[in-house]
Every structure is written in C-alpha cells, then in structure tokens.
Amino acid sequence: MPTWYNRIAGHSLERLAALSDGIFAVAMTLLVLDIHAPALETVHNEQQLWQALAALSPRMLMYLMSFLTLGIFWTGQQTQFNYLSHADRHLTWIHIAFLASVSLMPFSTTLLAGFITFRTALLVYWGNILILGLVLFAGWRYARHTHLVKEDASLEIACAIERRIIIAQGLYAFGALLCLVNTYWSMAFIVLVQLNYAVAPRVRLLARL
C-alpha cells in the first residue's frame, strides 16, 4: 500500500548525505568551467596577457563568491545532519529541493558574471541564495517538529542553527539591496559576509552572526 511505502521511504541519512556531497561537488566544479584561459591567438606579449587576465576578474570574483556560498551551505546542511537521528520521506524531499537550488548556482553565477553591472542579474543570484536559505531552514524546522532531531540536541543548539540561517539571510538581503546604489558594492558586501562565515574570526560582534 502507498501509505506503508511512504512510511518506510527516505529514512537513510547516509544516502541523503552521499547524494548531497555528490551534487555539491559537481556544482562547485562546474563553477570553474566558466573561467576560460585567454586564447593563444589573441595574446602576443606580456601586456596583452595581463590585459586578458584582468578581463577575467568579474568571472574570478563570481567564482570566489559562489564557491564560498556553496561551501557555507554545505557546512550548514552537514551540521543539521549531525543532529538528526534519522530522516523520513518528507525531509528527504525537502533536502532534494535544497539540492535543486544548489544545482542552479552555476547558472546564476554565469548570469551575474556576464551581466555584472545589471541589477536583475544580481537579484537572480541573490534569489538563488534566498531559496537555499529558506529550504534549509524549512528542513530544520520540519525535523524539529516531527521529532527527527536527536534527543541529546539541546534547545540552545537548535536555536543556534535557526538563528544562523536567519541572520545570514538578513545580511544577504541587505547586500542585495545595495545593488540599488552600485552592484559592485553589493557584491563586495556579500563577499565580506561569506568570508565572515567561512573564516569565523574571533571578533565578539562577528562571532554572534
């Protein structure tokens, strides 16, 4: 019966983590494929080579931004997995939706790299990040409400996971709003936010984010 199947489907956290690792690895690898070495026929001296490399700076910036983004979200997802006792069918599909957003990151990265001064391209990129955060938050909330979280996971830990997502999304939203002033300011702020979460500096104010 379908009811019984739904009860037993999607319980393996290990398989879900393995799928996640694979999709993250592919998405992070695809990011670099948008960066192409200068064509040999267009470079004839050192100055031309430097100029060609300088022309790649927007794509290099986007590679850095997106690699950090995916690294941060991979860490966030793995942190949640560490505190789950098991999964169920609904949680599995929530995380599959999360992975669908992960697989979109190479597209939104390429779009912004090609139209780096266009607000629409930056908003599409931010929209990708927003969906990642919303779905990851929904997955954790669902796990808490359906008692999929380990019994030894304290309330402080559960709230810390939710708070980190909410604050990060708020900072990303502020960064996206900066595109109304200048898209480069917006991207610079987003990179600073990412570096804060990736490096985790021992600064009291930043440590709370």
Over 4-67, what HEC string results? HHHHHCCCCHHHHHHHHHHHHHHHHHHHHCCCCCCCHHHCCCHHHHHHHHHHCHHHHHHHHHHH
User: pLDDT value at position 81?
Assistant: 92
- Residue 3 CB partners (closer than 8 Å, separation 6+): none
- Domain borders along the chain are 57-207
Q: Answer yes or no: are the C-beta atoms of 123 and 88 closer than 8 Å.
A: no
Q: By CB neighbour count within 10 A (0-12 exposed, 13-18 middle, 19+ buried), where does 40 fall?
A: exposed
pLDDT at 201: 60
In 115-182, alpha helices (H): 119-145, 155-177
- Residue position matching structure tokens 């990708």: 128
The answer to whether the CB of 187 falls within 8 A of the CB of 61 is yes
Quote the pTM value.
0.86
Regions in the chain scoring below 70 on pLDDT: 1-11, 200-209
Q: How far apart are CA 30 and CA 33, in angstroms?
A: 5
Output the average pLDDT for the chain: 86
Give the position of tokens 């983590």: 17
Q: Is 45 exposed, middle or buried (0-12, 13-18, 19+ CB in 10 A)?
A: exposed
Cα 146 from chain centroid (whole Å): 25
DSSP state of 149: B
